[in-house]
Amino acid sequence: MLSGYRVIDLTDEKGAFCTKMMGDLGADVVKIEKPGGDPLRKRPPFFGDTPDPEKSLPWHALHNGKRGITMDIEREKGAKIMRRLVASADFLVSSLPAPEVRGKGLVYDDLSDINKRIVVTSITPFGLTGSWSDYRAGDLVVMATGGMMSMTGDPDGPPLRLNPDHAYYIASYKALVGTLIANYYRGISGEGQHVDSSIHDSVVREFYYPVPVYEFEGYVPKRVGDKGVRAGKIFRQRFRCKDGYVTWFFHGGRVGSSTNIAISQWADEESIPDTVNVTDWTKFDVWRASQEDLDAVMDRFATLIAKFSKKEIRDELVKRKIRAAVIDDIEDIAGNPQLQSKDFWVSLDHPRMERPLLYPGDLFYSSETKVRIRRRAPMIGEHNDEIYRNELGMTDEDMTELTKEGVI
Amino acid sequence: MKNEKHALNGIKVVEWSLAITGPWVGKCLGDHGAEVIKIESTVNQDVTRLSVPYAGGIAHPDRSATFLRFNTSKRSITLNLKTDEGKAILEELIAWADVFFNNQRPGAMKRLGLSYERIRKINPSIIAMDISNYGQTGPYSEAGGWGNMTMAMGGHTFLTRDRDMVPTAPGWLATADVIGPMNALVAVLAALDYRRRTGNGMYLDVSQLEALVHFLGVGLLDYSANGRVQQPIGNHDPEYAPHGAYPCRGDDQWCAIAVTSENEWQNLCRCMGDPLWAKEARFGNMASRKIHEDELDRRIGEWTRSFEKRELMEWLQSKGIPAGAVQNIADVLEEDPQVKAHDLYPRIEHPVMGECYHGGWPFLLSKTPTRMSTCPCLGADNDYVLNDILGVGDERFVELMTEGILE
């Protein structure tokens, strides 16, 4: 869907998922690494657990679908090549810290002098303006400042971040939304612009429900462990089964009725005592019910679920169309029948690995074109020849000189 | 607001959606300038119109502050889609639109007689999108579901916890409901540009599940390469230590500190007053600190206790150490300098709820800012949509009203 567009990629793990998705969408993404290799190549885990810059799995997860060149943009000759690339690019996406964005001439005003159509996206911890804009932060720090941690975890334990690097991924998604809005506008106006994307702000804009709770119910939502809270009522969200956990959120009324009827029927079949005896689930109002009645319904579900294994429960939930789910780990996901039915997984070889890796494939389905991983991540400097020689027309002498000087 | 350019001016969108994932897509397009018509029903209302909290504590479809979160910058029309005339109006709107999307339970569109084939007959270049938990096909498709289920199925719930805890997810929301709409927005925005360049519309089938699974790329490759099933690590990092949230002065006050280099560690030691314990060999390098991180966390936690969280954050940051106060909702809405500088929660007047917080977007577009208007009351734009957009004329309008089509 984005074929024909060229993206210059100056991202690290904070923003690499944004440009990875642009690759899935068909854009030609050129990842620029420092000579010698990107720092992400040193991050574990590695293929075969052997540290090797070509075998870092974070590198392969985040930079697949891209071509790779090495270039030191801090050297004058590097900066000069960079300007040539900028002149022919449609997008530049960076996740360098704010002071470096300003210091390296990567702000929109500098780049638009070279190419007024370019869309420049910066993904930084706190955005390029505001008194925290120069602060250093990784995933944990912005999860903290962004408010999500204060509401996640046990009430008597420390605040907890979401699954590793959640902030980077959600910020990458939102930065891409901003980038594609700017892209559409460029298409009709001929003008590029700057997309100043903040990871902190991306996390802040995740908590939808707590804002009205604070504003209209007048209290600050705190950690509730594995529970959920609505209208002051406590809803269990975790139910232990034989070999794991199940999640179910108890909805009332018409919305929850088909699931509630199916659960009730299943529990009857298993002869689990019913103390609430709801006769018409479409009229059961969870907002008005007593906590005791809610607990009785949830306890009955807990007793039911405890009798079965994850696999048995999965089958029953699908068969009975119950809106509850098993809490899956990575292995469960790899075997998820829904994903398998959609031919989701993509296997790709790598010259330095003995076996192919299985990657998550499609982002979504489009009737016009596949939107999924197109190639494995590049090796260090893998596309130097292709881009410097074939596309920028450099000679052997140019290349030797730049290599000798440590520019590429 | 008057003479500003908005990026999506001129784009016409019809949404038949409910809850969170669908409405959020329409909000984004509307906030950036598109004209968005939300198809509603007085009988079968969007579930968030019937959700707490209500402004003034009065249960009413125009008072739900939850509905407000996902439905700014839209027009609302109520249509009874169980009537032929109601369906005919919807088809006229589909003929008018550039984008038509829904997040009804899979199968609902076909039951309404609106398969993609049919939609394309009405409007050959339309972008039509179905949004759902797991997609329109496959064994899980029909059951539909909620965000907490996709988080569980996508591995996010399993991984969000400390080593010894039961799986935990934020109790106040399901982040799948935030990720899903972003995936749908990527799809529809890319499709709009594709259509501008080629003239072709398309059909899009977007799920929450696929988007969530992509967040776990590293763990999935580790499983594929090494057969390892990724385990939760809480606030820790695979390599770096210290890396955690530490208690500060006051009730439930914390500051996150994440040391990622030797230099940052030395700076932290200086801030702590170079205590003797920090000079012990077991804390002498990153790998060794990582092995002894529980003890390290305890020591640092004793030191941070006497500080106010925001003071500690700003002091450590001034010394180049990544640190961040664990902000609660009140901190974020009232004290956060970034939220203020970026006007992330503008206060806008709603005709029934009064002036209240509205949520903006976490990216600033330098040439085309957002233009946000508050969410519509139920059916507030029946007249505008039928007369100004479709030009049904007075006679038909009265007929539609009296025959219960606008319910």
Copy the structure tokens of residue B64: 């739900």
B43 in A contact zone (CB under 8 Å):
no
**Alpha-carbon span B149 to B21, nearest angstrom:** 14
Q: Which domains does chain A have, with CATH numbers?
A: 6-205+340-404 (3.40.50.10540), 224-326 (3.30.1540)
Residue type, A216: F
Q: Which two tokens stand for residue B108?
A: 């609902």
Q: Which residues of A are less than 8 Å from B155 in CB distance?
A: 163, 328-330, 332-333
Q: How far is A298 from chain B (nearest CA, A)?
A: 16
pLDDT at B1: 42
How far off is chain A from B155, nearest CA to CA, in Å?
5
A160/B161 CB distance under 8 A: yes
Least confident of A169-173, A356-360, B53-57: B53-57
DSSP-derived 3-state class of residue B290:
helix
Do the chains contact at B169 and A145, CB–CB below 8 Å?
no
Q: Is B316 on the interface with A (CB under 8 A)?
A: no
What's the gap between Cα B68 and its chain centre? 13
Output the pLDDT for position B118.
Answer: 97
Task: Indicate the residue of B155, B178, B367 with minimum beta-carbon distance to A193.
Answer: B367
Residue listed under structure tokens 């939102």? A174
| Residue B83 region by backbone torsions, left for phi larger than 0, else alpha for psi between -120 and 50, else beta | beta
Q: Which chain A positions have a beta carbon within 8 Å of B247's beta carbon?
A: 158
Residues contacting A357, CB < 8 A, separation 6+: A47, A60, A347, A348, A350, A376, B221, B224, B225
Contact B370, B362 (CB under 8 A): no
CB contact under 8 A, B216 and A129: no
Are the CB atoms for A297 and A281 separated by under 8 Å?
A: no
A108 part of contact set with chain B, CB < 8 Å: yes
CA distance B336 to B215: 28
Please report the pLDDT score of residue B2 as a whole number: 47
CA distance A67 to chain B (A): 19
In B51-140, which ranges are E strands?
Answer: 75-78, 99-102, 127-132
Measured between CB atoms, which of B143, B324, B364 is closest to A196? Answer: B364
Q: What is the mean pLDDT of residues B358-376?
A: 97
**Euclidean distance between CA atoms A261 and A257, whole angstroms:** 6
Residues 44-73 of A with CB under 8 A from B: 44-45, 47-49, 57-58, 60-62
Confidence of residue B171 (pLDDT cuts 50, 70, 90): confident
Query: Is B183's CB within 8 Å of A364's CB?
Result: yes
Asked if B111 is an interface residue toward chain A (Cβ–Cβ < 8 A), one would say no
* Touching A: B residues 241-300, CB under 8 Å: 243-247, 252, 254-256, 258, 260
pLDDT tens digit sequence for A247-280: 999 999 888 999 999 999 999 999 999 988 899 9
The strand ranges marked E within A71-175 are 91-94, 119-124
Residue in B263, B270, B258, B242 with CA at minimum distance from that of residue B326 = B258
Candidates B338, B348, B350, B368: best to mutate against A (most CBs of A within 10 A) is B338
Cα(B364)–Cα(A179) distance, integer angstroms: 10
Instruction: Identify the structural domains of chain B with CATH numbers, from first to last.
Output: 12-214+342-402 (3.40.50.10540), 243-331 (3.30.1540.10)
Strand partners, B202: B127
The answer to whether the beta carbons of residues B240 and B290 sit under 8 Å apart is yes
Q: Output the CA–CA distances (angstroms, integers) from residue B9 to A22, B12, B36, in the order listed.
A: 24, 9, 11
| Higher-confidence position of B167 and A161 | A161
Q: Which chain B residue lies closest to A50 (C-alpha atoms)?
A: B226
* Tokens encoding B85: 């005339």
Distance CA B198, CA A370 (A): 16
Tell me if chain A has a CB within 8 Å of the CB of B404.
no
Q: Comparing A134-143, A228-237, B248-257, B366-375, which segment has the lowest mean pLDDT?
A: A228-237
Q: Do B202 and A368 touch (CB under 8 A)?
A: yes
User: Which residues on B lie below 8 Å from A249 (Cβ)?
Assistant: 146, 148
The stretch B375-380 carries a mean pLDDT of 98
| Residue among B55, B184, B225 whose CB faces A57 most closely | B225
Residues forming beta bridges with residue A6, ordered by sequence position? A28
Q: Quick check: ipTM above 0.90?
A: yes
Contact A205 B135 (CB under 8 A): no
Is the CB of B141 inside 8 Å of chain A's CB atoms?
yes
Q: What's residue A227's pLDDT?
A: 87
- Subunit contact A328:B152, Cβ cutoff 8 A: yes
Q: What is the mean pLDDT of residues B295-315?
A: 98
Instruction: Report pLDDT digits (tens) over B107-161.
Output: 999 999 999 999 999 999 999 999 999 999 999 998 788 999 999 999 999 999 8
Is residue A45 reached through a cis peptide bond, with omega within 30 degrees of 0 on the bond before it?
yes
Over chain B, what is the mean pLDDT? 95
Give the pair of three-digit tokens for residue B322: 């990544």
For A201, name the nearest residue in chain B, comparing CA atoms only. Answer: B362
The whole-angstrom separation of Cα A289 and Cα A279 is 14
Note if the pTM is more than 0.80: yes
CA distance to partner chain A, nearest, from residue B398 (Å): 31
DSSP assigned state of B49: G
pLDDT at B349 over 60: yes
> Is pLDDT of A179 > 60?
yes
pLDDT(B162) > 90:
no
- The number of C-beta contacts closer than 8 angstroms across A and B is 521
Residue linked to tokens 């390892």? B228
On chain A, the residues whose CB falls within 8 A of the CB of B342 are 127, 129-130, 198, 201
As given in the structure block, the two tokens for residue A214 are 């604070």
Q: Is B148 on the interface with A (CB under 8 A)?
A: yes
How far is B212 from A343, CA to CA, in rounded Å? 16
Shortest CA gap A211–chain B (Å) = 7
Segment B205-261, tens digit of pLDDT: 999 999 999 999 999 999 999 999 999 999 999 999 999 999 999 999 999 999 999
- B177 interfacial to chain A (CB closer than 8 Å): yes
| B115, B218, B305, B347: best to mutate for the A interface, most A CBs within 10 A | B218
Alpha carbon distances (Å) from B259 to A325, B285, B327, B385:
37, 12, 20, 56
Strands (DSSP E) contained in A173-315 are: 194-198, 227-230, 233-236, 239-241, 244-247
- Give the per-residue pLDDT at A135: 97
| Chain A contact present for B161, CB below 8 A | yes
Question: Is the predicted pLDDT of residue B3 greater than 60, yes or no?
Answer: no
Instruction: Tell me whether B154 touches chain A (CB under 8 Å).
Output: yes
Q: Record the tokens describing residue B115, joined without a space.
A: 């398969």
DSSP assignment string, A140-165: HHHHHHTSSGGGSS-TTS-----STT
pLDDT digits (tens, 9 = 90+) for B386-401: 999 999 999 999 999 9
Model pLDDT, residue A74 = 87
Chain B contact probe: residue of A54, A329, A359, A373 with most B CBs at under 10 A: A329
Owner of token pair 């820790």:
B236
Q: B323: nearest CA in chain A?
A: A141
Q: Do B20 and A208 make contact, defined as CB atoms within 8 angstroms?
A: yes
- The reported pLDDT for the residue numbered B164 is 74
B173 touches chain A (CB under 8 A): yes
C-beta atoms of B336 and A360 within 8 A: no
Q: Which amino acid is at A211?
A: V
Is the Cβ pair B215, A169 closer than 8 Å? yes
* Residues on chain B touching A324 (C-beta within 8 angstroms): 149
Asked whether the beta carbons of residue A207 and residue B323 sit closer than 8 angstroms, the reply is no
Residue of B28, B131, B186 best to disrupt the A interface, most CBs of A under 10 A = B186
What does residue B348 show for φ and ψ, rounded to 5 degrees? -130, 150
